[in-house]
Structure formats: C-alpha cells, structure tokens
Amino acid sequence: MLNLTVERPTPHPRPSPYRRGVLWRVSAFLLFLLATGYALAADPSYPALTGRIVDGAKLIAPEARQRIEAKIKAHEDKAGDQLVVATVPSLQDIGIEDFANGLFRFWKLGEKPRNNGVLFIVAPNERKVRIEVGYGLEGALTDALSKIIITTAVAPKFKTGDFAGGIEGGVDAILTILSGDAEEWQRRALVRNDESSPAETLAVILVMVFIFILVVSFMRSLSQARGAGRHRLRDGRWITLPQSSGWGTGSGSSWGGGGGWSSGGGGGGGFSGGGGSSGGGGASGDW
C-alpha cells in the first residue's frame, strides 16, 4: 500500500511590530521627499505688475526710467502694443526662457484678442537677458530680430556695466521694429545669418569627422565579419579563411548605401495686462 504524504506550505511569518514600524517610517520619509520635490518644482514667485518698468534689480536711474517709460507709453498710445521692461534680482533657479514665459502669462501682457505684448527681462545676477514676444507680434518682432537686438544693442552695453544704456537701446530697437521701420535690423539679421564664426565652422567639421569615423568603423567591422568563415572546396574538403584586413572581400563587399510665459497677475497703480499670452517666441542672450 502506497502512503502519500501531503505537505502543507509553510505559512509566511507575520512582520514583527518593529519591522512594521520601520516600513512605516520609510514610507513616510519617501512621501516627505516627494512632497518636498513637488514644492521645489512649484511655480516661482513673480513680482507684481506695477508699471511699464518693473525694476526689481534696481538697475535704472530715475531720469533714465522716466525717459524710457515715456517712449514706451507713446508707442502704446499710438499702436496699442504693450511693452514692459522687467529686471529681477533672481531667476529662482529657473531658465530665463521658462521664467520669462511664466511672467508674461502671469502679467497677461498685450490685448487678449491681439496678443500684442512684449516682455524685455534682465537678470543681472545670472547675466541673462530675454525678449519674450506675444503671439500676435511674432511676425514683426521675429526670433532673429530679437537675437540681433540683444547681441548688438543690449549685450555690449551690459558688458561695460551700462545697464540703463543697454535697456534703453533694446527698447529703442524693439519700438523701431514694432513701428514698421525694421529695414536696418532686418539687414543686420541677414548679415548675421550669412556669416558663420570660426567656432561654428570648426564645430561642423568636427561633427562631420566624427560621423565619418563611425561609418568607417562600422564598414570595417561588417567587412571583417563577412570575410571570415568556412568554405568548401570542390573535392569536399573544408577550409577556414582568416578575417579580411581590407575594405572588402572577394565577394564584393565595399562602400555602398541607399540613394541617397496663466494666472490673474494684475498690477498696482492702475496698470495691468490686457489678457494676452505668449508661446515662447523671442530670443535670449547673456554677457
């Protein structure tokens, strides 16, 4: 008679109170880290929109400020475009592109139907500057023109410490273009596009050389893999050929290829945005 013994599986021991306490503490710590990371990734603290110039970094003397504001107001009264200059003491560990776009949307620059706002922001501590353009003005104040303004009218002044001069120069250029007299700035943009710096040329050459080396290495590996193997002679014997050390083998392996910145951010003093928005158009720079 055959006796069969059925063994029951050993039940898993229940976790001890100490172990449960450790797991609870670890889980709580992970939740704390997650909440902390979320808080750090929250939106930055934006300044209030108090006028056409919000000089949080204290870069512009009163006389220059009045002069620049008068120019901006004259254009706004005539054309309706809303240009605001902002200087900030810190970008709060955020790239100037994201900060500028967020501030633009927070202030709602420009009229809502036309989205005709422009933000000219300067961050001296990070040595960054950006012109953020509203949707409706991207066709006039293009990315290329914004970049030319920064590199030729703004950055050179900033490098010498003349922040008011650089800001006024940038404002003058922006207003000139928005007024329809952009011929000189368009010419500068074309000249810049036609000219390539030695560093840019060298970078292109290095990339091409790197790609060439990769292609050569791949082709040699492919050729060597095809050149090795066993071959049968007419008399039935087998021989093993060594890997080829050349570009190809007798089978014809060779070079070949196929053909071929929204929340309700109103400001004090009766000045506010008009509900406009920006999709990230414009340009950034440094000095």
pLDDT in tens, 100-118: 999 999 999 998 888 999 9
Joined together, the tokens standing for residue 203 give: 């970078």
Q: Are 133 and 118 in contact (CB under 8 A)?
A: yes
**CATH classification of 67-190+274-286 is 3.10.310.50, yes or no?**
yes
Question: Residue ranges per domain, the chain?
Answer: 67-190+274-286
Strand boundaries in the chain, DSSP class E = 53-55, 82-87, 117-123, 128-133, 229-232, 238-241, 281-286
127 Rama sector, left if φ>0, alpha if ψ -120 to 50, beta otherwise: left
Backbone angles phi, psi at 241, to 5 degrees: -90, 140
Q: Are 101 and 261 in contact (CB under 8 A)?
A: yes
DSSP state of 275: B
- pLDDT for 263: 33
Strands 238-241 and 82-87: unpaired
Structure-token match 């560093």, residue found: 199
Evaluate if pTM is beyond 0.85.
Answer: no
pLDDT in tens, 144-192: 999 999 999 999 999 999 999 999 999 999 999 998 876 766 666 555 5
Pseudo-torsion of CA 166, 94, 56, 47, nearest 10°? 130
Q: Which residue type is seen at 236?
A: G
The total of other beta-carbon atoms located within 10 Å of residue 17's CB is 8
